[in-house]
Each structure stands twice: as C-alpha cells, then as structure tokens.
Structure 1
Amino acid sequence: MATSFHPDRFDEIPSDLERVGAHRVPRKRGRGWIGFAWAALATLVLVGVGVGALFVLNDKLALGAGGAGGSTPSASAPPSETAAPVVEPTVDPSLAVTVLNGTPTAGLAAAVGDTLAAAGWNVTTRSNAATEDVVDSTVYYSDPALEGAALGAAASVPGAGIALSQDFVDLGQASLVVVIGSTFPVPEGE
C-alpha cells in the first residue's frame, strides 16, 4: 500500500538555487583558528590550575634556586642522614696475620708475607689456600673493630680489598687473613 502525500512548498526547488541541502552553510574564513584559540586557552587554564594546586598542596615545591615562595632552606632543618665515620688505615704489630696463596703461582704467600712483615705486621702463617682459583686479593677480618687494621694491611698488598667475614675465624689465632688472588701483580723474575 503506497501512501501519497499532498504537495507542499518543499517539493518545489527553485532553479536559481546553487547549493544542495538546506542545512549546509558555507564555512566562514578563519573559523578553524577560533577552535584552535579556544583549545589553547583551555590548555593554559588547566596548566595554571594544576601549578596552583601543586603550590597549595605541596609547600616544598622548588622552582629555581630559591624554593617555593622565594625562601631558602632554613638552617634549623634536621639533616636527613648523618655522615658515616671514616675509618683510617692503621698498622697494629700486635695482631696476628695469616697469608694464603689462592693462585697456582708458587711462593706468593712468602713474598706477600715478607712485604707485610716489612710494613710492621706480625705475619704468623704463610701457606697455600684450599683452592687455587681465587681472583681478587682480599684481607678478611672477623671483628668490625679491625676494619682500620684490615685497611692498613690491604694498603701493603697491591690491588687488595677488605671484607668482613667469619669464614677464616677457625684458622687459628690470626686476626687478619690475607688471601692472594690471580689479579695480584707478580714481581718480575719470579
């Protein structure tokens, strides 16, 4: 069943009309810049509100060298962390030192023992370590109070570091144990 409508004024299209569709209006020039300007303005307002909120919520926000509000940090502020005391290397001839050779090179324990004895250390034992694959030379100490002495002994052994360890406590009466590793510079002629 077909429905018919009565003709009205919209059924007649004038012949001089150049456009199609009455709802489309030609764009005005510069209309795109207006949208861009509104977007830029909205962005600036949002950034300004965000920065203002940061100043209100966080009074420690520092912009530049002066800090927030142009103030400098006060002298009465407590320090965040105290400086660790610096341990100075010492030589204590009363401490017993054991020297172990952890390399396949023969005679290193005796040579390093002689060097330590010449520096003032009481070298009681010079021997080979249980393994010959030690890489880094290390002075081991078991008591934190002996850190300065370990640093002093390490200063006499080129390239040696120090380590707090209980591994060598059972070796006898030695307070310090020097283990020579493969990075130890072997003197020429040996």
Structure 2
Amino acid sequence: MTKYARDEFDRVPETSARQGVHRAVAESRRRSLAPILTAGCVALAIGLVAFLILPKLGFSAGQAAAVGDNATATPSATSPASPSPAPTSPEPTATDPAATDPAAAPSVTPSIPAAGVDKTQPVTIYNGTTTAGLASRVGGTVSSDGWILGQTGNWGGVPQQTSVIFYSDAEQKGNAEALGTLLGIDTLVESAEFNLPLVVVLGPGFQ
C-alpha cells in the first residue's frame, strides 16, 4: 500500500486490452520480421521462375551442368604447370687411366730370357772328401732334378779346398749355374781338361 490516494489511473478495466509499453514492444517485433518475410517471398518467387520458366526458354539441365563443369575446369586449366624434376646427371664411372692418358699406361719391360738349361748333358760327380758314399748321394739328388747322371766316384786329382763345378765351354755355363744353385756350390770354373761337359768335385765342408 502506498501513502498516496488512488486516482482514476489506478482503475483499469479487467477486460480491456493492454496498452502502454507492452503494446509498443509487440509492434516493434512485427516491424523487425517484415524484411525477413519479404526476402523469403522474393527468393521463393525466383526459385519458381527458374524452375518453371527457364526450361521453356531453351535452358536444359544438361546445359546448366555443362556450364557448371566449364566453370570448375577453368581454374585448373589456367593453373601453372607443376615444375618437372630437374634431370639428374649420370653417376661418374671408373675409367681406365691408360685409356684416357697414354702416359699413365704401365710400361712393359721385356723380360730377358734366362740362359737355357740343357739337362740332357751328363753330369760327372767326384767325391773329394773323406765321407764315404757322398758322390752317390749327390748323384741321386741330381738325377731326381731331371739331369742325366754320368760317372760317380772318388776324386783322384789335386785336393780341393772347396766344392767346384767345372764346365767345358761357354755353352755349358748356364748348365753349371743351374747345378750350382741345386747343390749350393758357388765356385764355377771353365776347363776343357776333363773332356766332359760338366764335372762336380765335392770338396771339404760339403753338406
């Protein structure tokens, strides 16, 4: 209850329509919906025209689809081509230096043929030591190496200080060197005294 006395504005009929602020709010809401409804009606009308009238003017659904496809294909046709990969250089291969640089070719030195060894020449062996059977034992070594074994026996000449191989002439020098390598004898003497191509005299200290 208020302290003021009631007046004529406090008496509101129960059946009367509401007025004042409530009415203004309702009217503003109706005005805000009007543009939306108008736009919806316009869009519906355009859809009906496109669906009913355009086919009669000669536009078909296939042509519309073709136009749509061309519109979507245009950007890809004008898009820049993707860069192609750069060509790769071939891997270097190993080459023969002699093929590219003649100076790099290895020099071939002709081998000097060794002096011919004729093992068909008979080899005579004398034992100039006090070891019995030494000439026969050395003769077996010479025969096993492929030489033709001549006479074997004890040495009856001037006593020798070391083992010696006598060869008759220069043609037998290669044979004498081969025998010296086989028997470990370094002393080689050319002599025609024996009338034999090769003579081995085993001296003191021969093993």
Q: Given the two structures, how large is their TM-score scaled by the length of structure 1?
A: 0.46
Q: Given the two structures, how large is their TM-score scaled by the length of structure 2?
A: 0.42
Relative to its length, the structure with more helix (as a share) is: 2
